[in-house]
Amino acid sequence: MEYLILFLPLLGSIISGFFGRNIGDKACQIITCSMVSISALLSIIIFSKVIISGYENNVIVATWISSGSLDVNWSIKIDALSSVMLVVVTLVSSLVHIYSVGYMSHDPHKPRFMAYLSLFTFAMLTLVTSDNFLQLFFGWEGVGLCSYFLIGFWYKKESANAAAIKAFLVNRVGDFGFALGIFLIFYVFGTVNYDEVFRLIPTITDQKINFLSIETNIVDLICLLLFVGAMGKSAQFLLHTWLPDAMEGPTPVSALIHAATMVTAGVFLVVRCSPIYEYSQLALSVITLIGMTTAFFAATVALVQTDIKKIIAYSTCSQLGYMFFAAGVGAYNVAMFHLFTHAFFKALLFLGSGSVIHSFKDEQDINQMGGVWKKLPYTYVLMIIGTLALTGFPLLSGYYSKDAIIEFAFVSETKFGIYAASIGVLTALLTSIYSWRLIFKTFHGNYNNKKLGIETMHESPIIMMAPLIVLAVGAIFAGMFFKELFIGYETTYNFWGNSIKFLETLSTDHPPKWFIYLTPTLVILSIPLSYYLFVKNTKIVDDIVSTNQPIYTFLQKKWFFDELYDQIFVKPSKKCGLFLWKKIDGLVIDRFGPDGISSLIKNFSLKAVKFQSGFIYQYAFIMLLGFSILLTLLIVK
């Protein structure tokens, strides 16, 4: 069963990628959708076995590397943590595959697209089922490569190519730190296998190492280097700039990669390495600080964006911040719970936005929409469900997971816990405002699109709506059904077992009642407030923008990170590259190297050819001259 879960998506990718032209578009879509769907069903079976009987397994596929002390297997590790990720990855991926059949129906390169989706799924499954850091890194780079392919799928669009390159390069920054962390682990322990590393960690908690001429605790350094990789992959503050630009890819790509799977790899890494992070209070404090900063930053930027997909992208960025600061305060199980519920409602919002974009003939600006809730009733209701879940409306999935993060942060005894909880409440309010802004400006008010008549609006086909319905069920019930299993005090240790390590027993304290009710109250009150501001009396927002233009510009420009990085990294790199190309490569290397040698030979041959005149007396003179030179040399010797 484990083999099928992992390799069916790979098989579908190979068939669609290499034989798509021979078997046709429809066959490729059927094969890839079927393979991933079977993988999803088997993953659900594995997950149920883990819940019911605590099933664990480590299937060795093959011996990968055996050299000296480095002994690495290619394996499929099944435990509570990997089983949760298997369900998230395969279920969302299968729904995205099915949705793509309708969304990409007019694209001429459907087999290639389906092959990329399935290959990405295989790489992500390889990542979450690894039992060592090397296989983890293989899957890590695999999903990075596939994201490059998928973001730049429409390669004839210059913006898509630029976004793909940006995502690839920013992730390389994080991956460099991640690779250094793996090298350090092998240098210290002589192994990269999880079980061996986790067992040896307590023996080196007080050891130091000199890194960049700084005396550093080894465990702290390992944790921080691994977290740099997580920051890049999960688009955390400072390494977040690639995520909004990645919306240039097709909408199914946004749902698969940037909502439920690839961007959660960083959270998975931190939780998987909880046996290491539990011994580094410094790293946990840094994770909390970065997480709460990301949550607040992304929420403020989402307030003023007008691209429907970019609003949801910044929302993803913000929710990932919640997950990280949950892990930072030691609530790894709550971080995974929010990852699990977030997969449903965020994929629902992305695919719902794709349905809206499909109806508006690829229009993504919410200012060019409005007044279509009667024309798109099913999409409207489904996106309402996703929005309620995202904002943490009582009894929906986001309410159980996001509020649990804020409450755990509040009662934690960590340095940044109370600050993280405060930021979490403020961010929840901002999340509700920008989420309802999207809904009201997209579906309510006046119809603002001048290119299309409102009579042309129509619902998406059933092949696109069916996955939305499944995700909506998850967005409504996932939190309610799995709360006790994932974060219940009595069941947490039984379910997670050894897959998550808690050095200290989880707190049973509860925040005061006023704090428990604070976030849901703000979320509920924000709905009529948003309706009034964005539908009934839009002049208020216009006045706020006009009187606070510098702040509005600051948020619209995304805190000027792109401009800052452009000045610090991009332009100097271009100037350096231009100098090396024109001056060093062109005037030095080429001039005195291949170009110089070829020019010398060419000139010599042009001179030599003049001796080929066809006159016998000239040939006789040259022969005599040569004989004289040879005779002179012999006499001199």
Residue-wise pLDDT for 605-615, tens only, equals 877 777 677 77
pLDDT tens string 257-277: 766 678 889 999 999 999 999
CA distance 393 to 389: 6
Q: Interior CA angle at 62 toward 60 and 65, to 5°? A: 115
Which residue has 């995974």 as its token pair?
Answer: 336
What does residue 65 show for φ and ψ, rounded to 5 degrees? -135, 130
Supply the pLDDT for residue 104: 87
Length of the chain: 637
Q: Which class for 126: exposed (0-12), middle (13-18), buried (19 or more C-beta within 10 A)?
A: buried
Which of these ranges, 6-10, 209-213, 387-391, has the smallest mean pLDDT? 209-213
Mean pLDDT of the chain: 88
Other CB atoms within a 10 A radius of the CB of residue 524 amount to 15
Q: Which residues contact 253 (CB under 8 A, 6 or more apart)?
A: 117, 150, 151, 153, 246
Residue with the bigger pLDDT between 66 and 289: it is: 289
Element (H, E) at 29: helix 25-53
Check: CB of residue 522 under 8 Å from CB of residue 530. no
CA distance linking residue 265 with residue 621, whole number of Å: 81
User: Does residue 505 surpass a pLDDT of 80?
Assistant: no
- Is a pLDDT exceeding 80 seen at residue 492? no
Q: Could you give the CA distance from residue 179 to residue 177 in angstroms, rounded to a whole number?
A: 5
CB 155 within 8 A of CB 200: no
What distance in Å separates the CA atoms of residue 338 and residue 580, rounded to the nearest whole number?
48
Residue 290 has pLDDT above 70, yes or no: yes
The C-alpha R_g of the chain, in whole angstroms, comes to: 30
What three-state secondary structure class fits 508?
coil
The fraction of the chain above a pLDDT of 70, given in percent, is: 99
Q: Of 300-309, 364-373, 417-426, 446-455, which gets the smallest average pLDDT? A: 446-455
CB 137 within 8 A of CB 178: yes
CA–CA distance, 504 with 484 (Å, rounded to integer): 20
pLDDT at residue 240 is higher than 90 = no
Contacts of residue 79, Cβ cutoff 8 Å, sequence gap at least 6: 50, 56, 497, 498, 499
The 8-class DSSP code of residue 290 comes to H
* SS3 of residue 376 by DSSP: coil
- Residue 374, pLDDT score: 86
Residue 118 confidence class, pLDDT cut points 50, 70, 90: very high
Helices vs strands, H then E, count in the chain: 28, 4
Residue 393 token pair: 């409306």
The answer on pLDDT for 387 being more than 90 is yes
Q: Please tell me the predicted confidence (pLDDT) of residue 294.
A: 93
Q: Confidence band (pLDDT; 50, 70, 90) for 584?
A: confident
First and final CA of the chain: distance in angstroms?
A: 86
b or e along 334-370 (b: 16 or more beta carbons within 10 Å of the residue's beta carbon)? bbbbbbbbbbbbbbbbbbbbbbbbbbbeebbebebbb
Q: How far apart are CA 321 and CA 133, in angstroms?
A: 24
The pLDDT assigned to 271 comes to 93
Q: Which two tokens stand for residue 433?
A: 């405002």
Residue 70 CB burial class (10 angstroms; 0-12, 13-18, ≥19): middle
**Which pLDDT score is estimated for 136?**
93
What predicted TM-score, i.e. pTM, was given to this entire model? Answer: 0.90
* Closest C-alpha to 113, from 199, 32, 231, 194: 32
Residue 168 has pLDDT above 80, yes or no: yes
Residue 95 binned pLDDT confidence (cut-offs 50, 70, 90): very high
* Pairing status of strand 208-211 against strand 214-217: antiparallel
What confidence score (pLDDT) does residue 611 get? 67
The one-character DSSP state at 507 is P
Per-residue model confidence (pLDDT) at position 115 = 93
Q: Would the pLDDT of 82 be above 90?
A: yes
Structure-token pair, residue 143: 């999903």
SS3 content of the chain, % helix, strand, coil (to 5): 75, 5, 20
Residues 6+ apart with CB under 8 A from 520: 392, 393, 394, 399, 403
Average pLDDT over residues 351-372: 88
The packing angle between helices 417-443 and 513-531, to 10°, is: 20
Alpha-carbon distance 117 to 128, whole Å? 17
Instruction: Kindly report, residue by residue over 415-428, the tens digit of the pLDDT.
Output: 777 888 999 999 99
Strands (E), 116-242: 208-211, 214-217
What CA–CA distance (Å, rounded) separates 198 from 204? Answer: 11
DSSP state of 1: -
Mean pLDDT along residues 220-229: 93
Residue 291's contacts (CB-CB under 8 Å, 6 or more residues apart) are: 236, 320, 321, 322, 323, 324, 325, 326, 327, 328, 420
3-state secondary structure of 362: coil
